[in-house]
Amino acid sequence: YKSISPHVMIAKKMQEQELPINIGMLIEYYIAESKDKNKKRALVRERAKMPSEPGKYDIEYYLKNQILPAVENIFEVFNINIRELVEGKKQMKLGDF
C-alpha cells in the first residue's frame, strides 16, 4: 500500500501543466470542499487544489485537522473543552443553577 500525499498530487499537476518544479521546492496547495455529498468518501489528496484553481476552502477540514489540534493544549490550561466549544454545547455545573 502506497499513500500519495496532497503535495505530490499538486506536483504532478504542475508537471502536467509544464510549470517549473524542483527538488525541495515549496508546493503550495489548499484543501477544497468536496463536490461529493458524502465528504468522508472523498480523499484529501483528491480535494487538493493549486492556489490558482477555483474552489472553496474546506473549513471543517482545516478546523479539525489544523486549528484545533494546534490549540488543544492551550485550551486545556484554561479548562476549555474543545468539543463543547465546537458543538456549541456546555455541560451545566452545580454553580450554574
Check if the beta carbon of residue 34 is closer than 8 Å to that of residue 47.
yes
| More confident of the two residues 4 and 92 | 4
- Percent of the chain predicted with pLDDT > 90: 54
| Res 97 pLDDT > 70 | no
pLDDT of residue 62: 94
pLDDT of residue 1: 54
pLDDT class for 79, splitting at 50, 70, 90?
A: confident
CA distance readout (Å), 65 to 1, 20, 40, 60: 23, 30, 14, 8
Q: What is the mean pLDDT of residues 17-38?
A: 90
Domain extent listing, the chain = 1-57, 59-91
